[in-house]
C-alpha cells in the first residue's frame, strides 16, 4: 500500500488538495484511469483507444479483449434494482511490468455465490486445464442464466494468465460490491522479482472506496499530449452532466483548458505528464489538475489571483483585448484560456504551487455549478 492514502484527512471543501493525495497514490503509475458512471459499447471503444497509446503493440489485442469483457461483466451482473450509475466503476493502472484492469459493480447474493464459486474454480486450473474447460463449456453450452457470464470469466482467466483477484464488500440489504482485478503482464522481459506477485486488489479497493467517499467520477494520470487529450475528451463527452442541461458542455469546456494547461506548463518537453480529476459536489462538479513544471510559475499565480478579483464586465473586456493581441503570437493563448474559464463560470480559479523531491508542482482547480455561467 502506498503511503498517504489510508491516513488522509482530505476535506472536499478543499477540492484542489485532492491532487496532492492522488500524486502520492499514483507516483509509480505509467498510466492510471478510473471512471464511475454509465457504461456502453461506445464508451468501451473510446477507453480502449486511450489505453492503446500507452501500451506495447504486442499486448494491445489482449488488453482490448480483457477491457471489453470486464465491461460486459459489469453489465451482466449489475443489480438493476440499485443505482448503478454511481455504483459501477472501471479502472486501469499500468505499473510495469503489469497492466491491472479493475472493475466494481453491485450484485445480489445469488450472483455473489455464483461468482465466488466460479472464480475459485478457475483460479485453481492451470493453462492447459483452462483451455480444456473452455472447449467443454463452449461445446456443451454450459452457460449461466445471464447469457454467457461463465464463458466470459473463463476467457478472462485464459488471457490474463494470472489468477483473477476478487473481493466482496457488504452493502445495503443483501447486496454486495463485487471487486474484480485482472493482472496482465505487458513486459515479459522484466526481472523475475517484478514478474512475481502483482499488486493486490486491496490497494485498488481502498482507492475506489476513497473515490466513492469523495464523490469522484473521473480520474486520469498519465501523458497529456494532444494524442491523449482528444480520446480522453471523447470519453467525457456524453458521460458527464445530466440529460437536458448544459453541464456536460461546461465540463467539456473547462476540461479542454485545464488539460491544455498541463501541456503548456509541463516540465518535460516530450511527454506532458499530469493528473486530471472530476468530483461531483453539492453545487455541481469540481475539476482539478496537477503537473510538475520546470520554470517558476509565480507570475501565473499572480495572474490567476488578478483574474479572480475582476468583475464579469472587466473579464469580458480583457478577454477581447487579449484575444486580439494573441492572434499573431504562436503558443500565447494560455492567458486567454484562463480568462475564458473565469468569465464563463464566474467561480474562482484555484491555484497552488508545491514542491517535493521530484520538483515543483502546479495544481489548478475550478468548480462548475449547475446554475452558473452561460
pLDDT reading at 84 higher than 70: no
- pLDDT at position 181 over 80: yes
What confidence tens digit (pLDDT) does each residue in 52-75 have?
Answer: 655 665 566 777 778 878 877 776
User: For residue 11, is pLDDT > 50?
Assistant: no
Model confidence band, residue 10 (pLDDT cutoffs 50, 70, 90): very low
Q: Are residues 186 and 235 in the same domain?
A: no
> Which range in 175-184, 191-200, 257-266 is most confidently predicted, on average pLDDT?
175-184
Is cis: bond before 46, omega within 30 of 0?
no
11 and 120 part of one domain: no
What whole-number distance in Å separates Cα of residue 103 and Cα of residue 264?
33
DSSP character string of 44-88:
HHHHHHHHHTTS-GGGHHHHHHHHHHHHHHHHHH--TTS-HHHH-
In a domain, 135, yes or no: yes
The sheet with strand 31-36 has its strands ordered as 165-170, 175-185, 98-108, 89-95, 31-36, 216-223, 273-280, 284-293, 359-369, 350-356
For the chain, how many structural domains are there in total? 2
- Select, from the ranges 49-53, 129-133, 229-233, the one with the highest average predicted confidence (pLDDT): 129-133
Hey, what's the cell of 72?
A: 460486459
- Quick check: 319 pLDDT over 90? yes
Q: pLDDT grade, residue 43 (50/70/90)?
A: low
Q: What pLDDT, on a 0 to 100 scale, did the predictor assign at position 59?
A: 67
Cα-trace Rg, the chain = 22
- Domain boundary among the residues 189, 214, 239 is at 214
Assess whether 64 and 194 both reside in one domain.
yes
Task: Give 30 or 63, the one with higher predicted confidence.
Answer: 30
Higher-pLDDT residue of 76, 70:
70
Residue finishing a domain among 214, 240, 266: 214
**Same domain for 50 and 13:** no
Do both 159 and 87 map to the same domain?
yes
Most confident range (mean pLDDT) of 43-52, 232-241, 303-312 is 303-312
Is there a domain that residue 219 lies in?
Answer: no
Beta bridge partners of 280: 285
Q: State residue 61's pLDDT score.
A: 72
Is the residue at 74 inside a domain?
yes
Residue 110 lies in domain: 37-214
pLDDT of 324 strictly over 70: yes
| Host H or E run for residue 111 | helix 109-123
Q: Which helix (H) or strand (E) holds 128?
A: helix 127-140
188 and 98 within one domain: yes
Which secondary-structure segment (H or E) carries 107?
A: strand 98-108
Residues 272, 187, single domain; the answer is: no
**Do 189 and 135 fall within a single domain?**
yes
Does 51 share its domain with 200? yes
**Is residue 124 situated within a structural domain?**
yes
More confident residue, 134 or 226: 134
pTM score, whole prediction: 0.84
| Domain boundary pick from 214, 241, 270 | 214
User: Same domain, yes or no, for 267 and 193?
Assistant: no
257 and 323 together in one domain:
yes
Residue 12's pLDDT band (cuts 50, 70, 90): very low
The domain that holds 321 is classified in CATH as: 3.30.565
pLDDT of residue 164: 94
Predicted local confidence at residue 192, as pLDDT? 72
Contact (Cβ atoms closer than 8 angstroms) between residue 263 and residue 248: no
Whole-number mean pLDDT of the chain?
79
Amino acid at each position: 500500500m502506498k503511503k498517504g492514502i489510508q491516513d488522509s484527512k482530505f476535506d472536499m471543501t478543499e477540492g484542489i488538495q485532492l491532487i496532492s493525495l492522488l500524486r502520492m497514490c499514483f507516483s509509480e503509475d505509467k498510466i492510471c484511469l478510473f471512471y464511475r458512471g454509465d457504461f456502453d459499447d461506445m464508451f468501451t471503444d473510446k477507453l480502449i483507444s486511450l489505453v492503446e497509446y500507452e501500451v506495447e503493440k504486442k499486448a494491445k489485442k489482449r488488453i482490448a479483449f480483457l477491457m471489453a469483457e470486464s465491461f460486459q461483466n459489469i453489465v451482466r451482473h449489475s443489480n438493476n434494482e440499485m443505482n448503478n450509475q454511481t455504483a459501477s466503476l472501471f479502472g486501469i493502472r499500468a505499473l510495469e511490468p503489469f497492466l491491472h484492469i479493475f472493475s466494481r459493480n453491485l450484485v445480489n447474493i445469488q450472483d455473489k455465490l455464483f461468482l465466488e464459486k466460479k472464480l475459485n474454480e478457475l483460479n485453481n486450473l492451470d493453462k492447459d486445464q483452462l483451455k480444456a474447460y473452455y472447449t467443454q463449456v463452449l461445446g456443451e453450452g454450459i452457460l449461466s442464466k445471464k447469457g454467457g457470464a461463465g464463458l466470459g470469466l473463463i476467457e478472462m482467466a485464459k488471457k490474463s494468465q494470472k489468477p483473477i483477484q476478487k473481493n466482496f464488500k457488504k452493502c445495503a440489504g443483501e447486496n454486495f460490491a463485487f471487486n474484480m482485478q485482472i493482472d496482465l503482464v505487458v513486459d515479459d522481459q522484466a526481472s523475475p522479482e517484478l514478474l512475481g506477485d502483482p499488486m493486490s486488489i486491496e490497494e485498488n479497493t481502498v482507492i475506489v472506496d476513497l473515490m466513492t467517499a469523495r464523490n469522484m467520477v473521473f480520474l486520469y494520470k498519465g501523458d497529456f499530449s494532444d494524442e491523449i487529450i482528444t480520446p480522453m475528451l471523447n470519453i467525457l463527452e456524453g458521460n458527464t452532466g445530466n440529460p437536458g442541461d448544459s453541464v456536460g458542455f461546461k465540463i467539456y469546456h473547462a476540461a479542454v483548458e485545464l488539460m491544455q494547461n498541463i501541456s503548456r506548463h509541463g516540465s518535460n518537453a516530450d511527454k506532458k505528464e499530469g493528473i486530471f480529476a472530476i468530483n461531483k459536489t453539492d453545487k455541481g462538479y469540481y475539476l482539478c489538475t496537477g503537473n510538475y513544471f520546470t520554470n517558476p510559475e509565480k507570475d501565473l499565480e499572480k495572474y490567476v489571483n488578478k483574474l479572480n478579483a475582476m468583475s464579469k464586465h472587466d473579464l469580458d473586456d480583457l478577454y477581447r483585448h487579449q484575444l486580439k493581441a494573441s492572434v499573431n503570437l504562436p503558443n500565447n493563448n494560455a492567458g486567454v484560456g484562463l480568462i475564458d474559464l473565469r468569465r464563463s463560470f464566474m467561480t474562482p480559479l484555484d491555484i497552488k504551487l508545491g514542491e517535493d523531491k521530484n520538483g515543483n508542482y502546479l495544481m489548478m482547480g475550478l468548480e462548475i455549478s449547475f446554475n452558473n455561467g452561460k
